[in-house]
Amino acid sequence: KAGVTQTPRYLIKTRGQQVTLSCSPISGHRSVSWYQQTPGQGLQFLFEYFSETQRNKGNFPGRFSGRQFSNSRSEMNVSTLELGDSALYLCASSPSRGGGHSPLHFGNGTRLTVT
């Protein structure tokens, strides 16, 4: 079974631009979550999608948005990029919602650099 696939792996953007990141979950997984990872900050929860609906959102500005398609693939968008948005963006999928008994399977992430 293929793992979680994130594209692109690396991205360099300029302040003020926008960016779209893509995530293909493991086949059969319906829940997709997004995390921002920066050194020393761990994984900061962005949002979770399940059955094409956003189920929860972390403490990020409205510039961060996402969506999920009927095939469970997900995209996240960041508009008006700021230098502080430079980070590794991780996507994780799981078969269902519901916590630790449904472990998260992570992709290798997209490394975004904003200059």
Partner 1 sequence: GQSLEQPSEVTAVEGAIVQINCTYQTSGFYGLSWYQQHDGGAPTFLSYNALDGLEETGRFSSFLSRSDSYGYLLLQELQMKDSASYFCAAYNNDMRFGAGTRLTVKP
Among 33, 68, 72, 110, which residue interacts with partner 1 (rule: CB under 8 A)?
Answer: 33
Interaction of residue 11 with partner 1, rule CB under 8 A: no
Which of positions 69-88 make contact with partner 1 (CB under 8 A)? Answer: none
By the rule CB under 8 A, 64 interacts with partner 1:
no
- The token duo for 25 is 């979950």
- As a whole number of angstroms, the distance between CA 31 and CA 45 comes to 14
Do residues 54 and 45 make contact, with C-beta atoms less than 8 angstroms apart? no
**Residue 21 is a binding residue for partner 1 (CB under 8 A):** no
Given 8, 96, 103, 113, the residue binding partner 1 (CB under 8 A): 103
Q: What percentage of the chain's residues is helix, strand, coil (to nearest 5)? A: 5, 50, 45
